[in-house]
Amino acid sequence: MNQPGQSLTSSTPARTVFWPYLVPPRRRVLLLIAIGAVLSCSAWLGFGKSLATSFDLTKHSVPLDQIVDGGPGKDGIPALLTPRFVSAAEGTFLQDDDRVLGLTQGVEAKAYPIKILNWHEIVNDVVGGKPVVVTYCPLCGTGIACDANVRGGPHTFGMSGLLYQSDLLMYDHQTDSLWSQIGMHAVAGPLTGQRLTPVFLEHTTWAEWRAAYPSTLVLSTRTGSLRNYDRDPYTGYAESGELFFDTTHVDPRYHPKEWVVGIEHKGVVKAYPFSELKKGESPLTDELGGDTVTIQVNHRARSVSVTDTGGRPIPSVTAFWFAWYAFHPDTQVFKWPVRRSP
């Protein structure tokens, strides 16, 4: 049988043959359409081409070939710089089971709906008098809040349009440095190596948050952007085993989108998959870095809170398994049985 690039018969002069043309004409059209779709998708994902960006990547702490173009471009996803809020009673655009990121500082409580964060990903805010940046990466399922003070002064952040390990890279407006959301540190630019301080954040439902904090404010849909916040641009993504972008480290022990709660405490990194947490009672206790921590699980709201022996909250990250593992390939993984609370 002739191979692509060989002559078709012994009497035919040797010539290069584009292999799709060996396919019958009726099927050839469909094949060429499929090839075009694959090539277009590959180009969109950035395969086979060098990164083109306006950011200065001369100084960096991660391999540059692992920073990829996410597609929308710098500020293509508009971060919120002057967010508006309404009272819980005015939050009629939310259903009880809508997911929110909840943040408290002092006596002030605020909720940031995922249905809004899907379209903006970053909210620059002030809560309890402290500047904070609230971030959500739909690709990783990660909601993280950090103190926005860097080197003694408040910074504001925008979307770079770039990704690292399938996770959003934000940039600060003051220096144009790139910051890893999950890593919570600058990976390129003048502030490379600087770290952000996490702020305790809850990943829960609107009903649960509103019941716990009836005086909460909630991020308004009046964002200044024309977006349909009732439409989820990532429908089906959380159930799919496919990723839009590759990661360096992969672990097949769990479905890539298995929800886990990740904790970093005194040098110990540990993941608590919800499929494991369902096997036992709540609350439970565990040992991390020589300390006893208490983990309270609300299965109805798919939320977890972690506290130390004094009842003080310990920041944790709710994430897809693939995302947590990509950043923490040395992570411990919780499995029953463990010592339970008395």
- Percent of the chain whose predicted confidence (pLDDT) is above 90: 79
Between 324 and 2, the more confident residue is: 324
- Percent of the chain whose predicted confidence (pLDDT) is above 70: 84
Please state, as a whole number, how many other Cβ atoms lie within 10 Å of the Cβ of residue 207: 16
Residue 201 and residue 313: Cα distance in Å, rounded? 9
Regarding whether 108 and 213 lie in a shared domain, the answer is yes
Mean pLDDT on 76-97: 97
Q: Please give the structure tokens belonging to residue 99.
A: 């997911």
- Residue 252 pLDDT level (bands cut at 50, 70, 90): very high
Regarding whether 176 and 276 lie in a shared domain, the answer is no
Look at residue 225 and tell me whether its pLDDT is greater than 60.
Answer: yes
- Residue 339 pLDDT level (bands cut at 50, 70, 90): low
Is residue 161, in this structure, part of any structural domain at all? yes
**Where on the phi/psi map is residue 151: left (φ > 0), alpha (ψ -120 to 50), or beta?**
left
- Radius of gyration for the chain, computed over Cα atoms and rounded to the nearest angstrom: 24
Mean pLDDT on 109-113: 98
Task: State the DSSP H helix or E strand holding residue 85, giving kind and residue range, or none if neither.
Answer: strand 85-87
- Residue 44 pLDDT level (bands cut at 50, 70, 90): very low
Question: Which domain does 312 fall in, by range?
Answer: 259-333
pLDDT, position 50 = 56
Q: Please give the structure tokens belonging to residue 341.
A: 């609370």
Is residue 279, in this structure, part of any structural domain at all? yes
Within 8 A by CB and 6+ apart from 58, the residues are: none
Mean pLDDT on 246-274: 95
pLDDT, position 336 = 84
Between 26 and 5, the more confident residue is: 26
Name the H helices within the chain.
25-45, 114-120, 206-212, 274-277, 321-327
Regarding whether 171 and 112 lie in a shared domain, the answer is yes
Average pLDDT, the chain: 87
Is residue 57, in this structure, part of any structural domain at all? no
Beta carbons of 323 and 182 less than 8 angstroms apart: yes
Is residue 108, in this structure, part of any structural domain at all? yes
The 10s digit of each residue's pLDDT in 280-334 is: 989 999 999 899 999 999 999 999 999 998 999 998 999 999 999 999 999 999 9
pLDDT, position 32 = 44
Fill in the amino acid letter for 105: Q
pLDDT, position 87 = 98
- DSSP letter string, 249-285: ---TTS-TT-EEEEEEETTEEEEEEHHHHTTS-SSEE
The 10s digit of each residue's pLDDT in 125-149 is: 999 999 999 999 999 999 999 999 9
Is residue 309, in this structure, part of any structural domain at all? yes
Regarding whether 213 and 116 lie in a shared domain, the answer is yes
Look at residue 102 and tell me whether its pLDDT is greater than 60.
Answer: yes
Is residue 341, in this structure, part of any structural domain at all? no
Is residue 21, in this structure, part of any structural domain at all? no
pLDDT, position 125 = 98
Is residue 291, in this structure, part of any structural domain at all? yes
Number of domains in the chain: 2
Mean pLDDT lowest among 14-28, 52-66, 158-172, 202-216: 14-28
Regarding whether 270 and 215 lie in a shared domain, the answer is no
Mean pLDDT on 34-45: 46
Tell whether the torsion through CA atoms of 334, 337, 339 and 342 is positive or negative: positive
Q: Using the 3D structure, point to which of 219, 249, 267 is the last residue of a domain.
A: 219
Within 8 A by CB and 6+ apart from 242, the residues are: none
Regarding whether 327 and 193 lie in a shared domain, the answer is no
